[in-house]
Amino acid sequence: MGSYRVKSAAVFFLWVAALSGFSSRAQPTESASPAARIPPQQAITLAQEGHCHESISALKGAMATQVPAETRKLAGVLGIRCALAIDDRPATLDFIHLLSRDFGRDPDVLYVIVHAYSDLSSRTSLDLARVAPQSTAAHKLNAEALEEQGKWEPAELEYEEILKKTPDAPGIHFLLGRLLLSRPDGGSDAPARAKEEFLKELQIDPGNADAEYILGVLAQQAQDYDEAIARFSQAAKLNQNFSEAYLGWGAALIGDKKYAEAIAPLQHAEHLTPGNPDIHNALATALVRTGNKAEAEKEFAILRSLSSADHSGAPAGDRPQ
């Protein structure tokens, strides 16, 4: 399992230390006052001096008291640092929740939270590698890490190793098919090989909406609209919140010149993700082709508005819906 990518938290800890004035020289003591009696500033001082065991509960309490926002923010940041230092993962998540609730738009806090999640992820990955290094889950995680590094061949071998041991492991054929489509050196036969993997996945797990969806995409690319319509509609049936499946369904119907039938799935896709310009474009096209010019113009107007927002750099949340 040597391919696990464990990110060092050293830089993160140095950043938090600079923010909080933490000194790594001090060690936890056994004579601290009960946490409930420690005032916020004293809890912060204890944490800055490295007395993490003694300060965790008091730092949580500090975030619930009527103290200045900067004091609560510092208590939360120090709380994450201390919780990670003593490997108290539930406490780490508690502080992440408290900071997200109170300072969810503060860039410094978001930076701390990103690294906290990364650290927790790395520690849990190591737990898995240590506890069950030959398990399906461990090989799967390793393959995903290799994919992220662009090491396609070793990742593919990891998935194939899982299938040798557990041929009916759910999700693995899907991941292998996705890898075949993702790797830039997959070759001209990659789509056909990937399709075989997705079909195998559906034999194991007929409820895999993602496999149905990608099979729909492959069929649409091949202009096999009958299969594309069947695959997209099945994916939408399996997951009624799958906006892309409804969009693919409607687009395939348009490709097959079934404009009237395309309107309903596209309207459902629009309901799910009203900010997606591709949906408005497809729906406008279907409405024009069925003679609904007034409704089509509404969709084109929304499309123009979304395009204008994109060019102006407006945040997605501020765009017309």
In angstroms, what is the C-alpha Rg of the chain?
26
Fold of 134-318: 1.25.40
C-alpha distances in Å from residue 144, one per residue of 4, 114, 116, 137, 138: 10, 20, 21, 11, 10
* Residues 20-48 as b or e (16 or more Cβ within 10 Å = b): bebeeeeebeeebeebeebebebbbebbb
pLDDT computed for residue 72 by the predictor: 95
User: How confident is the model over 273-299, as a mean pLDDT?
Assistant: 95
C-alpha distances in Å from residue 132, one per residue of 124, 126, 127: 12, 10, 8
pLDDT band at 310 (very low <50, low <70, confident <90, very high): low
Whether pLDDT at 25 is above 60:
no
Least confident of 90-94, 209-213, 302-306: 302-306
> Domain map of the chain by residue range?
10-130, 134-318
Task: Answer for the pair 248, 220: CB distance below 8 angstroms, yes or no.
Answer: yes
Q: Residue 300 carries which side chain, given as an amino acid letter?
A: F
User: How confident is the model over 121-149, as a mean pLDDT?
Assistant: 94
User: How confident is the model over 73-82, as a mean pLDDT?
Assistant: 96
Helix 152-165, helix 136-148: angle, nearest 10? 160
C-alpha distances in Å from residue 162, one per residue of 155, 166, 170, 172, 211: 11, 6, 11, 8, 19
pLDDT computed for residue 312 by the predictor: 53
pLDDT band at 307 (very low <50, low <70, confident <90, very high): confident
Backbone angles phi, psi at 315, to 5 degrees: -60, 150
C-alpha distances in Å from residue 211, one per residue of 65, 214, 279: 50, 5, 21
Which residues, 6+ apart, have CB-to-CB distance to 285 below 8 Å?
A: 254, 259, 296
User: How confident is the model over 186-212, as a mean pLDDT?
Assistant: 96
Task: Measure the CA–CA gap between 70 and 59, rounded to whole angstroms.
Answer: 13
Run of H or E including 214: helix 209-221
pLDDT band at 20 (very low <50, low <70, confident <90, very high): very low
Whether pLDDT at 35 is above 80:
no
User: How confident is the model over 223-243, as a mean pLDDT?
Assistant: 98
pLDDT band at 313 (very low <50, low <70, confident <90, very high): low
User: How confident is the model over 97-108, as a mean pLDDT?
Assistant: 96
pLDDT computed for residue 40 by the predictor: 92
Please state, as a whole number, how many other Cβ atoms lie within 10 Å of the Cβ of residue 176.
24
pLDDT band at 65 (very low <50, low <70, confident <90, very high): confident
User: How confident is the model over 225-231, as a mean pLDDT?
Assistant: 98
Task: Measure the CA–CA gap between 218 and 227, rounded to whole angstroms.
Answer: 9
Whether pLDDT at 294 is above 60:
yes
DSSP letter at 290? T
Q: Is 1 exposed, middle or buried (0-12, 13-18, 19+ CB in 10 A)?
A: middle
Condensed to tens digits (0 to 9), the pLDDT of residues 165-193 reads 999 999 999 999 999 999 998 889 999 99
Whether pLDDT at 271 is above 90:
yes
Which residues, 6+ apart, have CB-to-CB distance to 14 below 8 Å?
A: none
Q: What is the residue whose two structure tokens read 């056909």? A: 192
- Residue in 23, 26, 24, 20 with CA at minimum distance from that of residue 62: 20
User: How confident is the model over 127-156, as a mean pLDDT?
Assistant: 94
* Residues 190-201 as b or e (16 or more Cβ within 10 Å = b): bbeebbebbebb
